[in-house]
Amino acid sequence: MSTTPIDLPHGAQGAHDAGHGHGDVDPHFQHHFTTMEQQNDTAKIGMWLFLVTEILLFGGLFVGFGLMQGRYPREFVEAHTHLVRWQGSLNTIVLLFSSFTMVMAVDSAKKNKPSKTVWYLVITIICAFVFLFVKYLEYSHKFEEGWYPAKWYRGVGDAIPGSHGYATFFAFYFMMTGLHGIHIVVGIGLLSWILMRARRGEFSSAYYTPVDLVGLYWHIVDMIWIYLFPLYYLIQ
């Protein structure tokens, strides 16, 4: 759902309207703002508002998961112990590191170091792919065991009446990590877009808002994982 474009000001309307009495000739300047600073602040508020909707969207799943855990504590705890801890931990480290490279990309863009920006973005994208690869290993392990989500669940206990806990657990596991994974994929798209523009040298200390906003998006994806990790992988 986050594929819907956030209105990043990348200047499609351009400078032809910039002549409304403020002499700013930045090609990314949009006519309905008075100053570039106002435009950048507005974009940032918009992004933060979008992030809040992301928090609440994931929040609904977290609440649902927590309440279901309360309903089926034994099955959930039992299922938790079979998630692979090192995979979750590795992914946590990878994502934290990618958050660091992301913020460094923003920092270098702000400091007029476009080649550094490019490299930091490349590392961030590589981290994202590493994350997805580990996720792939994780999912295929679950599928081998028959631990499919919801009605496809074929593991132990699916024939025992009243024992819905496992199917529900794996439904939530796949929904939440899956939705998070979709956000990673979208993030890769956004990062690649920023990477292309950074290579064209579009960003400078005067204009780096898109890098900044994609950075915010990437950090919220990281932040959601910060909560997913202990709640799924560290319960015994």
Partner 1 sequence: MIEYQVQTMAAKVGDLPRPKKNYLNETKGFWSWAGTLDHKRIGVMYLVGTMFAFLLGGCFALLIRLTLLTPTHKLFGKVLIDAETYNRVFTMHGIIMVFLFIIPSVPAALGNFVMPLMLGAKDVAFPRLNLASFYLWVTGALMAITAMVLGAVDTGWTFYTPYSTTTDGPVTLMTGAAFVLGFSSIFTGLNFIATVHKLRAPGMGWFDMPLFVWGIYSTALIQILATPVLGITLVLLMLERNFGIGIFDPRIGGDPVLFQHFFWFYSHPAVYIMILPGMAIISELIPTFSHKTIFGYRAIAYSSVSLALVSFIVWGHHMFVAGQSQLATVVFSALTFLVAIPSGVKVFNWLGTMYKGNISLDTPMLYAIAFLILFTIGGLTGIFLGTLSTDVHLTDTYFVVAHFHFVMMGGTVTAFLGGLHYWWPKMTGRMYAEKWGRVACVMYTIGFNMTFLTQFFLGAKGMPRRYYNYLDQFQPLHAFSTVGSWVLGSSLFLTAAYLLASLRKPADAPDNPWGGTTLEWHCSSPPITHNFEEQPVVEREPYDYRPVKHA
Partner 2 sequence: MTTHTETHSAGGHAGKHEHGGPTTYALTLVALLILTGITIGASYIDLGSGNVVVALAIATIKATLVALFFMHLLWDKPVNRIIAVAGFLFLGIFLMFDLIDLDARNYYLPQNVHRTVVPLVPGTAPAPLTEILPNPDEGPTGATPVPGAEAPAASTAPAPAAAAPASEKK
- The verdict on 152 binding partner 1 (CB under 8 A) reads yes
Task: DSSP for 116-158, please give it.
Answer: HHHHHHHHHHHHHHHHHHHHHHHHHHHHHTT--SGGG--STTT
The angle at the Cα of 207, spanning 29 to 223, to the nearest 5 degrees, equals: 115
For residues 157 and 236, what is the distance between their CA atoms, to the nearest angstrom?
Answer: 19
- The verdict on 4 binding partner 1 (CB under 8 A) reads yes
Q: Count residues near partner 1 (CB under 8 A).
A: 47
Among 202, 193, 217, residue whose Cα is nearest residue 11: 202
Give the residue, chosen from 11, 13, 186, 223, that forms a contact with partner 1 under the rule CB under 8 A: 13
State the minimum distance, in angstroms, from the CB of residue 78 to partner 2.
4
Give SS3 for 207: strand
For residues 11 and 30, what is the distance between their CA atoms, to the nearest angstrom?
Answer: 6
CA dihedral 188, 189, 194, 199 (to 10 degrees): 90
State the minimum distance, in angstroms, from the CB of residue 16 to partner 2.
30
- The verdict on 135 binding partner 2 (CB under 8 A) reads no
**Backbone φ and ψ of 204, nearest 5°:** -155, 180
State the minimum distance, in angstroms, from the CB of residue 145 to partner 1.
19
* Binds 1: which of partner 1, partner 2, none (CB < 5-8 Å by kind): partner 1
Task: Summarize as ranges the residues that interact with partner 2 (CB under 8 A).
Answer: 41, 44-45, 48-49, 51-52, 55-56, 59-60, 62-63, 66-67, 70-75, 77-82, 85, 89, 92-93, 96-97, 99-100, 102-104, 107, 110, 145, 147, 155-157, 159-166, 215-216, 219-220, 222-223, 226-227, 229-231, 234-236
Task: Summarize as ranges the residues that interact with partner 1 (CB under 8 A).
Answer: 1, 4-7, 12-13, 20-21, 30-34, 38, 41-42, 45-46, 49-50, 52-54, 56-61, 64, 67-68, 71-72, 149-152, 162, 164-165, 167-168, 171-172, 175
